Amino acid sequence: MKLVTFEITTQLGKQRRLGAWIEGDRIIDLNFACALYLSETAGRSAADQQADAILPSDMLQYFEWGDVARDAAQTSLEYIRERLLRERDVTGCRNEQITYAVDFDTALPTQ
């Protein structure tokens, strides 16, 4: 899995997010992917909060959290890849954008 930090613009301003760079030059937002996975496979009503507890949107925290975050990222990424085989695009459990085209203006260098 190729990890990347990317930046998006939201109503609250710019946010940095943790993503996985996949084939086809797309980035998957791992935290939003995890929330979708939890809501659709486990029927969890607070999936976004649970995703925040096991798979952070920050790369430094991701590495600090170790195996729990890595396993959640891998499972979530596989789930989204499967969905993308059947669907052109996938949105999050709260209609968040999960997939992004790679844009070298928003993909940030790792530190």
- Give yes or no for residue 111 having a pLDDT over 60: no
Q: Model pTM?
A: 0.87
Radius of gyration of the chain (CA): 13
3-state SS class at 47? helix
Q: Is residue 94 very low, low, confident or very high in pLDDT (cuts 50, 70, 90)?
A: confident
Do 33 and 76 meet the contact criterion of CB atoms below 8 Å apart?
Answer: yes
Per-residue pLDDT reduced to its tens digit, 45-93: 788 899 999 999 999 999 999 999 999 999 999 999 999 999 988 999 8
Q: Could you say which DSSP state residue 20 is in?
A: E
Furthest-apart CA atoms within the chain: distance in Å: 36
Distances, alpha carbon 41 to alpha carbons 44, 65, 96, in Å: 8, 23, 18
Nearest one of 45, 66, 44, 42 to 54, comparing CA atoms: 66
